[in-house]
Amino acid sequence: MAYGIKNVVKIDPLAYNIGLIGESGIGKTTIIKEMCEKLTGSNDGYLFLECGKEDGADAIQGINYINCREWSADYDEIEHSIGFEDVVDDIIDNKTTEYPLLRTVVIDTYDQLINIAKAEVIEMHNRENPDKPVKSIKAAFGGYMAGEDKAVDMVLEKLWNLKRVGVSFIIIGHVKRRDQEDMFTDQKYRLLTTNMSIRDFNAIKTKLHFLGVASIDREIVQQKTGKKDNKGNEKMKGVVAKESRKITFRDDSYCIDSKSRFADIVPEIEFTPDALIKAITDAIKAEQSKSGKTFEQSKAEQELETAKKLKEVAKAEQVKKETKKLEDVVTQITDYIKNNKSDMDKIKPIIAKTKELGYENPTTISKVEDAEIVLELIS
């Protein structure tokens, strides 16, 4: 058979990998929350994972969030926290039952998530190499960036496992200005980009469909100070006359590290959830228009396809849960036999019932209901 299919552009903005990085305190968490609420129509349609030492959710009324201070940790009701790995696995295992409306998770912030992943990698190395413990990620698993790469791989694996059950992701991050050098002219320029290591950031940037950079646009005018310099000239000073927040998706000067995989994205927008939704939606519509179908036709078809996929996810969830339950019950039976192997009066009824149900021994039981019948003999 011949492989390959023609791609169909997804209509749902939240079906894409989205990133928003920007200055601290500019309102990144708030605007993403408002965007998600408008697109999902529900507080349960999104979930903020407040990673590491990030606590931006504390200042936002009504935000749906969970703290993920560590990579792996049990749920703490007082701290409202759980391990990042644990909440992701819970979503994957229970998507259609516990998280039926969830469409996206928001990583707030991505740099903090990478930090807790690196801490986990150090612990993993020390568990696997107790005779050669390390304290630094650079020394983990032989060094030469192996530890850093493992941390990134762990994060990406979890995010893509979420996508397999229909949950996309949005990342939030911080920025700083870096001095860059043009590779052709050797001229230096300043770039507004991530505050993370470029290596760590590029690992996720290359996989984003949209990356907006939030910044403050200031209009500075020169005002007289009423003072003169030693030549008798009026001293002037720059004063901010007006400032506004903006999000950049495309920067022709290449001084802002933004990105879009959609050719028709608007270069710059005002910092509002409505403008953000419109920019992403318009870019999608422009690409979808090349399909020969109306936007409404594509939307209806994709909604049916999404519903079909959710049914498949629900079926897979049920099979996984039944398999786990069967394993747990069979383990209880076999543990009982091991603990009482010297007392055949206790074991004989179990073996007899197992054979009566059509199995050679308890480890071959394939149905939960049969395993529970046998378990009743020892309960």
Q: Dump pLDDT digits (tens) for 168-193.
A: 999 999 988 887 777 777 777 778 88
Q: Are 37 and 46 contacting, i.e. CB atoms less than 8 angstroms apart? A: yes
Q: How do residues 36-70 score in pLDDT, each as one tens digit?
A: 999 999 899 999 999 999 888 889 999 999 999 99
Does one domain contain both 65 and 200? yes
Residues 343 and 272 grouped into a single domain: no
Please write the tens of the pLDDT for every residue from 11-20.
999 999 999 9
Tell me whether residue 138 is in a domain: yes
Out of 229, 259, 292, pick the residue that ends a domain: 292
**Residue 288 confidence class, pLDDT cut points 50, 70, 90:** very high
Same domain, 98 and 170: yes
Tell whether 129 and 65 lie within a shared domain: yes
Whether residues 336 and 255 fall in one domain:
no
Q: Which domain holds residue 344?
A: 293-379
Instruction: Give per-residue pLDDT as tens, 226-237.
Output: 677 777 777 767
CA 33 to mean position of chain CA atoms: 14
Asked if 250 and 305 sit in the same domain, the reply is no
Tens digit of pLDDT for each residue in 62-104? 999 999 999 999 999 999 999 999 999 999 999 999 999 999 9
373 and 283 housed in the same domain: no
**What is the C-alpha radius of gyration for the chain, rounded to an integer number of angstroms?**
28
Q: How far is the C-alpha of 140 from the C-alpha of 133, rounded, in Å?
A: 8
Do 298 and 287 belong to one domain? no
The domain that holds 49 is classified in CATH as 3.40.50
How far is residue 39's CA from residue 31's CA, in Å, rounded to a whole number? 12
Domain boundary among 265, 292, 319: 292
1 occurs within a structural domain? no
Whether 342 maps to a domain, the answer reads yes
68 shares its domain with 201: yes
Which of helix, strand or coil describes residue 178?
A: strand
pLDDT for residue 269: 95
Q: Are residues 354 and 286 in the same domain?
A: no
Picking from 252, 271, 292, the residue at the C-terminal end of a domain is 292
Domain count, the chain: 2
Q: Are residues 274 and 376 in the same domain?
A: no
Query: Does residue 151 lie in a domain region?
Result: yes
Q: Choose the weakest-confidence range: 2-6, 17-21, 45-49, 268-272.
A: 2-6
Q: Smallest Cα–Cα separation from 101: which of 163, 44, 159, 36?
A: 44
pLDDT of residue 65: 97
Is residue 256 located within the same domain as residue 362?
A: no
